Amino acid sequence: MSIMKFKNTKKVVNLISLVSLVFGTLLISSCSKKEQTDEKVLNIAVTAEVKGMDPIFANDRYSANEVARIYEGLLEYDYLKRPYTLVPNLADALPEVSEDGLTYTFKIKKGVVFQNDEAFAGGKGRELEAEDFVYSIKRLADPKLQGLGWWLLDEKIKGLNEWRNKYAEKDVVDYSEKIEGLYAADKYTLVFKLSKPFPQFLYSLAMPFTFVVAKEVVEKYGKEFINHPVGTGAFYLERFNPSSKRIEYVKNPTFRKKLFPSEASEEFKHMLTDAGKELPLVEKVTVNVISESQPRWLNFQKGKIDYSAVDKDNFDSVISEGKNLSKKLTDKGISLEISASLDVTYTAFNHDLKLFENVDLRRALALGVDIHENNKLFYNNTALPAQSVVPPGIAGYMKDYKSPYRERDLAKAKELLAKAGYPEGKGLPEITYDCPSSSTSRQIGELFKKQMSDIGVNIKVVQNTWPELQKKITTRQVMLYGIAWGADYPDAENFLQLLYGPNKAPGANGSGYNNAEFNKLFATASVMQDSPERTALYEKLNRIASEQAPWIYGVHRQNYTLQHSWLKNYMSTDFESGQAQYLNIDLEQKKKALDKL
Amino acid sequence: MNLWSYIIRRLLYTIPIILGVCLIIFAIFNLTGYDPAAQLLGKHATAKQVAEVRRELGLDKPLAEQYFDIVRTAFTFDFGRSWTTKQKISDMIREGAGPSLAVTLPSFVISTVMAILISIVVAFYRGKFIDRFLVVKFVGMMSIPSLAYILFFQWFFAYKLGWFEISGFERSFPEFLPYVILPIIIMVVLSIGPDVRYFRTVILDDIYQDYVRTARAKGLSERVVMLKHVLKNSMIPILTYVVIQIPFLILGALLIESFFSIPGLGGMTVKAVFDNDFPVIKAMTILSAVAFIMFQLITDVLYTVVDPRVRLK
């Protein structure tokens, strides 16, 4: 009897445990819902993991954005102004530039401190000095570290390349060695001397690669520095766990007094409600790595993330034909923001091949493409057909310019094909089209093949993994390849350099286009300061890039972003670094809106 | 043969296997010919910097030296750092193993136990309605792609009903439970069909043997026949099938990890392949090979436990 009783008791205990486990799980789930409205937490979803928290390795947008929550640079883009305008961040003002455009002198802000960390005496972050920038730039140039942003400064600063080359073969790099073009004139004055005029230099100083780090922290953590970010930025991270799919930042208690801007371009005037308020506006930032579109979309709909791009798969159910948001979503307080992306997609010719020296052939192929069908099938008709290489939003883009080789014209394409020596495509070999291995890239390739067959050109689509494609481009083993380019900084030079002969692969000019006139004009324009004359040169280059058809242009993509009503001051931008400090959460509105979700 | 000398001999056999695995990794890495240096540097790579990075990564060393580096890694388990993330690979594996096992281990245990129990029932009622019904049901379940289960379960149970978190992971207990229960349920649903079908076949093979007829002739109850005689004799193929899956548990479940944002080793390995992160690929391949060999050895030893007729040679 007692044994029976014991057995039953055990069963009951097991049952209770099971029930508690299930209810416990549900309770934990519901607790997290309450936490959503307790404090101002910005919830962000990103699609890829962060490589690490060292500015010199932040060469993808995901890593760059995370690095920029903690670290800062001398300059930043004015959050509420378009076109993009550089303003001082850790610099006290924009630099004094010498008449020859070679010397840049910065005064840095006084009283800025690094975040507290054991690396500093007493664990208290010390004041930022000009010497910290010298050290940080040298780290980017350090041949032992192989920083991924070295291309930014390669052959730009006097003596820096020599310093890098000198230590490439040595075991230890001497950071104390003076460099002619990079030094601290005093505690708060930083001087750069360039080896040649490079007006885009200032953009480099707004990019995370050049953000400032503290020598003590780098030396204390050594190779683990990548997991111990300590900057001067608005947010603080106790320890970065690279394998985690969630990064949680808290407001930096020692952040300097930085205010929300009080001026804005017309389109951002509505964001001036927070003008003059101290940054950051939220207590925490949570970044969730969600690589798949379904969970990202479901989390957004549940209010667990504050904004989300509209995925291709959900597009039709979310956006109506008139590019309006569906009523179901507007009723929930969700709004849509459309913004142009500074990018261009294209199909490049390999100009090393004699075949593509023939401009009539290139133009014929360009005329065979129906970009509107492409736009409809792959971009839900949201993209802008590219007329040339420079995207809208930056000087050099010609709003009213129409390329003579943009709109599909089969008769003219066939005529040009015959003129090129290949009537009806006869005598033309099979042309390979290399593309990345994603299904969308393959479908784009298949559509291209179909469109080319209409003019008698035989295309073979070849899919490659990304490294495979990169290698093929670099080693010139391609005929045509489909690819895209996104802006590193908002200057047409960043796009036009893709067609500059001396930048031939493995440089940025993967197609190997080499046009003497283009090269000469580019060499002149690329060292000019921003001016109407330079813009005129950019436009001329852009026109050549269109009419010579070195590529078959694709589209300039647009971002469609949804945001919840409680998120304030958000806009989609190509340069998101540091954006989180300007964003705000309206908790009252969030409480109300969550009930509707 | 003495058990220990058998184990030592089998362990010695692993040396040429590991050397072969190293050779295959080395050959694939060098034959595929992607340049990891160019990939690391991205769109701004210059020939000079590619050459510098190749030197820093040791890719300019003679091929023989590169091969011996891989062999040294395999025997010391000193995997170094990832080329892409600069993280210590041993830390990456340690951090990723927990989340992977948090999903795969419970689902493996639950699905195996359930599958064995269901197989005994359907084998017992072989040819009857319950057998046919369950077999048809499981074959039907197997016909649905795993992605469909993931998409539907995530949408219905996590989003629509709100019973579980949609995605994410917590490392502390019990906070991680809402994140792993749904992935576990999906994995059980995914594996129970093939398991039942296999175990049922194995059990049915034994049910028609002479010794079962003899047992029944002796007047033993069906329960005793099934559990004491049939199940015991079916254990060898079941054991082989089950134990061989264990090393793969640590590799996680790629799709599940990806859809539920679980920071496991499956996602890590696939990302390393996409990034051409050779040190990580190398570490995961070597570890998988070693684990596979070890669990095969364990299976062999376990044979002697479940069936005294088996002798180690």
Residue B268 with chain A: CB contacts under 8 Å: 243
Q: Does A463 touch chain B (CB under 8 A)?
A: no
Q: Which residues in chain A touch residue B86, judged by CB atoms under 8 angstroms apart? A: 51-52, 54, 57, 223, 226
pLDDT band at A49 (very low <50, low <70, confident <90, very high): confident
Whether A396 has a pLDDT exceeding 90, the answer reads: yes
Mean pLDDT of B152-165: 95
pLDDT tens for A237-258 read 977 888 788 999 999 999 999 9
Give mean pLDDT, residues A263-286: 95
B 229-258 residues with CB below 8 A of A?
258
Enumerate residues 112 to 141 of chain A having a beta carbon within 8 A of any beta carbon in chain B.
none
Tokens 């073979």 -> residue = A460
Partner residues linked to A250 by β-bridges: A236, A284
Helices (H), B33-167: 36-41, 47-57, 63-76, 89-124, 129-143, 146-153
- Residue B243, min C-alpha distance to chain A (Å): 28
> A102 vs A207, A225, A468, CA distance in Å?
20, 33, 40
- The tokens for A277 are 């308020």
The torsion angles phi and psi of A527, rounded to 5 degrees, stand at: -105, 5
Given a cut of 50, whether residue A2 has pLDDT beyond it is no
Give the pLDDT score at B246: 84
Give pLDDT, residue A6. Answer: 42
Tell me whether residues B165 and A506 touch, CB distance under 8 A.
no
The backbone torsions φ and ψ at residue B159, rounded to the nearest 5 degrees and listed phi first, read -85, -55
Tokens of A169: 């073969």
What's the pLDDT score for residue A352?
95
Instruction: Assess A302–B contact: CB distance below 8 Å, yes or no.
Output: yes
- In angstroms, the Cα distances linking B163 to A18, A320, A404, B181 are 16, 32, 58, 10
Better pLDDT: B45 or A370:
A370
Q: Does residue A368 have a pLDDT over 50?
A: yes
A551-565 mean pLDDT: 95
Classify A99 as helix, strand or coil: coil
Count each helix (H run) and each strand (E run) in chain A, helices first.
18, 22
Q: Residue A528 forms beta bridges with which residues?
A: none
Give the up-direction half-sphere exposure of residue B19: CA atoms within 13 A in the CB hemisphere. 5
Confidence class of residue B165 from pLDDT cuts 50, 70 and 90? very high
Q: Which residue of B has its CA nearest to A485?
A: B43
Predicted confidence at residue A4, as pLDDT, reads 43
pLDDT at A340 over 80: yes
- Give how far A471 is from chain B: nearest CA, Å: 6
CA distance B232 to B210: 15
pLDDT of residue A16: 54
Look at the domain B90-266 and name its fold.
MetI-like fold (1.10.3720)
Mean pLDDT, chain A, whole residue set: 91
Report, as an integer, the average pLDDT of A310-324.
Answer: 80
Contact between A292 and B259 using a beta-carbon 8 Å cutoff = yes
Q: What is the pLDDT of residues A25-34, one digit of tens each?
A: 555 555 555 5
b/e per residue A468-483 (b: at least 16 CB within 10 A) = bbbbbbbebebbbbbb
Contacts of A144 in chain B (CB under 8 A): 56
What pLDDT score does A29 carry?
Answer: 52
CB A234 within 8 A of CB A252: yes
Task: Work out the pLDDT band at B11, boundaries 50, 70, 90.
Answer: confident
Average pLDDT over residues B208-226: 88
pLDDT score at A480:
97
Residue with tokens 């596979």: B292
Its sign, for the CA torsion A67, A70, A75, A77, is: positive
The backbone region for A393, taken as left when phi is positive above 0, alpha when psi lies in -120 to 50, beta otherwise, is left
> Above 90 in pLDDT, residue A420?
yes
Least confident of A1-10, A141-150, A440-449, B248-257: A1-10
Which is more confidently placed, B192 or A474? B192
Residue with tokens 């040649």: A196
For A469, which residue in chain B has the nearest alpha carbon?
B34
Q: Closest Cα partner for B155 from A40, A296, A348?
A: A296
The stretch A491-516 carries a mean pLDDT of: 91
**Residue ranges with strand state E in A194-334:** 235-236, 246-251, 284-289, 307-309
DSSP state of A107: E
Are the beta carbons of A487 and A342 closer than 8 angstroms? Answer: yes
Left (φ > 0), alpha (ψ -120 to 50) or beta: where does B100 sit? alpha
Does residue A517 carry a pLDDT above 80?
A: yes
Q: Higher-confidence residue: B30 or A113?
A: A113
Spatial neighbors of A359 by CB under 8 A, at least 6 apart, are A548, A549
Backbone angles phi, psi at A98, to 5 degrees: -65, 160
Calculate the CA A211 to chain-centre distance: 16
Domains of chain A: 54-232 (3.90.76.10), 343-556 (3.10.105.10)
- Please indicate whether, in this complex, the C-beta atoms of A471 and B49 are within 8 angstroms of each other: no
Distance between CA atoms of B153 and B171, rounded to whole angstroms? 23
Q: Which residue in chain B has the smallest CA separation from A436?
A: B274
pLDDT of residue A317: 84
Question: In this predicted structure, what is the pLDDT of residue A5?
Answer: 46
Question: Alpha helices of A454-572 — where are they, by DSSP H?
Answer: 466-474, 493-496, 516-525, 532-547
Q: β-pairing, A96-97 with A103-107? A: antiparallel
The Cα-based distances of A363 to A89, A356, A387, A500, B78 in angstroms read 46, 10, 13, 20, 56
Query: Mean pLDDT across the stretch A77-105?
Result: 94
| Beta-sheet pairing, A384-385 with A555-556 | antiparallel
Contacts for B109-117 with beta carbons within 8 Å, 24 or more apart?
A: B110/B184, B110/B188, B111/B187, B111/B188, B111/B191, B111/B192, B111/B195, B112/B195, B112/B242, B114/B188, B114/B192, B115/B191, B115/B192, B115/B195, B115/B196, B115/B199, B116/B199, B116/B231, B116/B238
Check CB contact under 8 Å for A508 and B34.
no
Reduced 3-state DSSP string for A122-181: HHCCCECCHHHHHHHHHHHHCCCCCCCCHHHCCCCECCHHHHHHHHHCCCCCCCCCCECC
Which of A415-429, A460-474, B70-84 has the highest mean predicted lDDT (pLDDT)?
A: A415-429
Q: Which of B288, B274, B275 is nearest to B83 (CA)?
A: B275
**What pLDDT is recorded for position A18?**
54
User: Which of 110-149 (B) contact A at CB < 8 A?
Assistant: none
Instruction: Report the largest interatomic distance among the alpha carbons of chain A, rounded to a whole angstrom.
Output: 103
Q: Which amino acid is at B185?
A: I
Strand partners, A432: A460
Interchain CB contact of A298 with B (< 8 Å): yes
CB contact under 8 Å between B52 and A168, yes or no, is: yes
Residues composing chain A: 597
Preferred mutation among B30, B39, B166 to probe A, highest tally of A CBs within 10 A: B166
What is the SS3 assignment for A176-198? CCCECCEEEEECCEEEEEECCCC
Rounded to a whole number of angstroms, the distance from the CA of B154 to the nearest CA of chain A is 8
For A350-421, list the strands marked E by DSSP.
384-385
pLDDT higher for B46 or A521? A521
Tell me how long chain B is.
313
Cβ A483 vs Cβ B23: under 8 Å: no
User: What value does the mean pLDDT take over residues A589-597?
Assistant: 90
Q: Is A62 on the interface with B (CB under 8 A)?
A: no
Question: A127 has which bridge partners?
Answer: A113
Is 80 exceeded by the pLDDT of residue A510?
Answer: yes
Nearest-Cα residue of chain A relative to residue B80: A223
| Distance from chain centroid for Cα A35 | 31
Cβ-nearest to B259 among A26, A146, A295: A295
Which of A68-77, B42-51, B118-127, B220-229 is predicted most confidently?
Answer: A68-77
Map tokens 């994603």 to a residue: A438
Structure tokens at B148: 């469909």
Contact A24 B174 (CB under 8 A): yes
List the strands of the sheet with A235-236, edge to edge.
A41-46, A284-289, A246-251, A235-236
CA pair distance B46, A497, nearest whole angstrom: 14
Residues of B in contact with A227 (CB under 8 A): 87
Determine contact, residues B279/B89, Cβ cutoff 8 Å.
yes
Model confidence at A1: pLDDT above 50: no
Strand partners, A104: A97, A192
Instruction: Provide the chain A residues 355-384 that lie in CB contact (below 8 A) with chain B.
Output: none
CB-CB neighbors (< 8 A) of B41 in chain A:
59, 148, 151
Check CB contact of B269 with chain A, cutoff 8 Å.
no
Which residues 96-115 on chain B approach chain A with CB closer than 8 angstroms? 96
The least confident of A152-166, A264-278, B292-306 is: B292-306
Measure CA A473 to chain center.
Answer: 22
Q: Which of A103-112, A233-242, A326-335, B24-33 has the largest mean confidence?
A: A103-112
**For residue range A189-225, what is the model confidence (pLDDT) as tens digits?**
999 999 999 989 999 999 999 999 999 999 999 999 9
Whether cis (ω within 30° of 0) applies to the bond prior to A88 is no
CA nearest to B267, candidates B100, B137, B117: B100
More confident residue, A288 or B14: A288
Q: Kindly identify which residue of chain B lies nearest to residue A299, measuring between CA atoms.
A: B166
- The encoded tokens of residue A399 equal 């709003």
Find out whether A281 and A274 touch, Cβ atoms under 8 Å.
Answer: yes
Pairwise CA distance, residues B222 & A470, whole Å = 66
- Interstrand relation of A480-486 and A431-436 (parallel, antiparallel or unpaired): parallel
For residue A20, is pLDDT > 60?
no
- Per-residue pLDDT band at B222 (split at 50, 70, 90): confident
Find which of A271-285, A326-340, A461-475 is predicted with most confidence, using mean pLDDT. Answer: A271-285
Q: Do the Cβ atoms of B123 and B212 come closer than 8 Å? A: no
Residue type at A212 in one-letter notation: V
Per domain, the residue ranges of chain B are 3-87+269-288, 90-266
Q: How many CB pairs under 8 A join A and B?
A: 146
Please state the rounded mean pLDDT for residues B110-136.
92
SS (H, E, C) A311-359: CHHHHHHHECCCCCECHHHHCCCCEEEEEECCEEEEEEECCCCHHHHCH
Best mutation target among B46, B53, B185 (most A Cβ atoms within 10 Å) is B46
Q: Which of the four pLDDT bands, split at 50, 70 and 90, describes residue B313? A: low
Q: Is the pLDDT of residue B124 over 60?
A: yes
Distance separating alpha carbons of residues B108 and B123, to the nearest angstrom: 22
